Amino acid sequence: MTTATPIRSQLPQGDGNPGQGQGPGRVGAGVFDPVQLWRSLPDALRKLDPRVMVKSPVMFVVEIGSVLTTVFAFDTPGQWFGWAIAVWLWLTVIFANLAEAVAEGRGKAQADTLRKAKTDTVARRLVGDAEEQVPGTDLRIGDLVVCEAGDVIPGDGDVVEGVASVDESAITGESAPVIRESGGDRSAVTGGTKVLSDRIVVKITTRPGETFIDRMIGLVEGAARQKTPNEIALNILLASLTVVFLLAVVTLQPFAIYAHAEQTMIVLVALLVCLIPTTIGALLSAIGIAGMDRLVQRNVLAMSGRAVEAAGDVSTLLLDKTGTITLGNRQAAAFVPVPGTTAAELADAAQMSSLADETPEGRSVVVLAKEKFGLRERHQGELAGAEWVPFTAQTRMSGVDVDGRKVRKGATGSVVAWVHERGGTVPADAQRLTDEISQAGGTPLLVAVEDASGARVLGVIHLKDVVKEGMRERFDELRRMGIRTVMITGDNPLTAKAIADEAGVDDFLAEATPEDKMALIRREQAGGKLVAMTGDGTNDAPALAQADVGVAMNTGTSAAKEAGNMVDLDSNPTKLIEIVEIGKQLLITRGALTTFSIANDVAKYFAIIPAMFAVAYPGLDKLNVMHLHSPQSAILSAIIFNALIIVALVPLALRGVRYRPMSADRMLRRNLAIYGVGGLIAPFLGIKLIDLLITLIPGIR
């Protein structure tokens, strides 16, 4: 019975030096184009409904201001200033809605593709030993349906009988078919996918209208997107600032009257709009929607925006070893001969003994002999009269008898017993070599031969888990992000430590059981950390549910997909690293644009306040540092800039601020330098340029 091994601190530490390298390439989420902008315009206009706008307090205030300025513009016919302010305030609201509509619209193309996959199917439901044909919409949880080659699977479920090749291209975009079979971690099937071969019996696990495709359609269109806690908190802050500035503007008019500089309602509304943080208020929803869309583009379905946001705050990452950090199958790494035998002789015997071994390990021995010693890959049919000995779990050996020579390769104990049965001896060096390989975390396979000179051991094949290329660099990058990585494996501690050292992870948990995973996650969370993990089996479901970010593989069981809050349609466990990066990018983008929004308000103060009171207080004209043409052109320039900057920042909100691994302090300084200082400088330049253009219009003074 295996027992949980303590985390890495219980074992000697390696002194590996972290490698250098760049992280994986980042694919931009795509910037809007004029066609997308035009298609999204009707949705932006529909969002002018006050019942929709009230969900964004800042922009709701701007809409009310737009209505008021329009009314007052009617009361003062012939005044171009009032109409100009009204038009640009309406454009500000429309631009804000357009940003959100563009972000939502980018998911509709994928939703349309999914709808094509969602066809009305006829299901062959099992009733006892008989079949009956019923519409797919009549299926209920627990129903058993039969699917054969050419059939479309009528609903989400688990394979309970048989094995089949399934086309899931409508869901994953991957043209290669996948194998689905009962009794394993690859039993889940999705409604709308097509069976290509064989026959399976599927147990339905979802109700009609609640299938995986239905949920995907709703999520990618944004219909089910809920505001995240961080987004809600920021909305509260923006609403509070709006109330504060509203009170400030309301109380400003009595002072203006006292100073004999009474302001019109149009000017007061313009001041309020420029004071409140309209830029981030306009882009906040678009940033959140675009974050989920970036995951969709990577074939990851987030069940909620909360999961994406949590991914950005993850501090501990749990990664399964097999298939995530390593290639998944042990590969032949070296031929180690005993004294008196050459490496080429050992490689030749190892290759011959592996021709009948169809396991991944056996095939890797054939390939290694070919690559290292130039041995041509031979086939069983080339050796006339050969008697092949295939690998079995009982004998734990494979080999060939040919030309009076017997060659065997297999587990140490099995090959040693085979040599002793034939009167041969095993040199002490063979045992020493196998011990060294085992202590290094590898798997030794002995190779022996029996010929005219008797039975003897030729040497050892070193099998090892092959760490995927670039993993150390990726873990180095995660470390720079402040994320601690823990490798989860069922291997013994020695093997686990060897792989952990080679891959560069921070910790490992060996001989792990589902209970051990849960306990580890809870310990991390008790320390105030957010934990992310991947999984695909039913035994991973409890840990996926406990983790703050649980990424289930689409090839996994329904239990795993229900427990996680994200599903990777490509079933690529290493994608968890990209998910964390996207989450961090979302938070950074939101913070950067908030900084920019608040900073660029400063320039608007310098444009509007002097313009409002320069007549009553000539000394305020010194604050007109931009030397704007007139009070009216100054106020109008600030309003126009306030509207145009929203459009200018939409691409950045959709694409996201580029993320670079660095400490939180350094990241804060960088964003303040770029978006804080940039937010101060850009408005001064923009407002001045707009003022110059306005003064070129005939009739404006």
Q: Count of residues for the chain?
A: 701
Cβ proximity of 285 and 653 under 8 Å: no
Quote the radius of gyration of the chain (alpha carbons, Å).
34
Annotation-wise, does 279 bind a ligand? no
Annotation-wise, does 396 bind a ligand? yes
Phi, psi torsion values for 57, nearest 5 degrees: -55, -40
Annotation-wise, does 655 bind a ligand? no
Cβ proximity of 518 and 546 under 8 Å: yes
Q: How far apart are CA 320 and CA 554, in angstroms?
A: 16
Q: In the sheet where 443-451 sits, what is the strand order?
A: 326-337, 454-467, 443-451, 405-411, 397-402, 387-389
Annotation-wise, does 394 bind a ligand? yes
Q: Where are the alpha helices (DSSP H) in 538-676?
A: 541-546, 558-563, 575-613, 631-655, 664-671
**Using alpha carbons only, what angle is made at residue 475 by residues 469 and 476, rounded to the nearest 5 degrees?**
105
Annotation-wise, does 391 bind a ligand? yes
Locus of tokens 């201001």: 65
Annotation-wise, does 138 bind a ligand? no
Q: How far apart are CA 689 and CA 626, in angstroms?
A: 10
Annotation-wise, does 540 bind a ligand? yes
Cβ proximity of 192 and 118 under 8 Å: yes
| Catalytic residue, candidates 320, 516, 568, 601 | 320
Annotation-wise, does 398 bind a ligand? yes
Q: Dump strand ranges (E) for 213-313.
A: 300-302
Phi, psi torsion values for 132, nearest 5 degrees: -135, 145
Annotation-wise, does 227 bind a ligand? no
Annotation-wise, does 361 bind a ligand? yes
Return all residues near 410 (Cβ < 8 A) that are at least 6 apart. 391, 395, 396, 397, 398, 399, 445, 446
Annotation-wise, does 392 bind a ligand? yes
Phi, psi torsion values for 226, nearest 5 degrees: -100, 150
3-state secondary structure of 696: coil
Return all residues near 255 (Cβ < 8 A) that are at least 6 apart. none
Question: How many angstroms separate the most distant Cα atoms in the chain?
Answer: 119
Cβ proximity of 275 and 248 under 8 Å: yes
Whether 665 sits among the annotated catalytic residues: the reply is no
Per DSSP, the residues of 125-194 read EEETTEEEEEEGGG--TT-EEEEETTPBP-S-EEEEEEEEEEE-HHHH---S-EEEETTSSS-EE-TT-E
Q: How far apart are CA 533 and CA 517, in angstroms?
A: 10
Which residues make up each annotated binding site? 357, 361, 391-398, 409, 536, 540
Which residues make up each annotated binding site for ATP? 357, 361, 391-398, 409
Where in the sequence numbering do the catalytic residues fall? 320
Which residues make up each annotated binding site for Mg(2+)? 536, 540
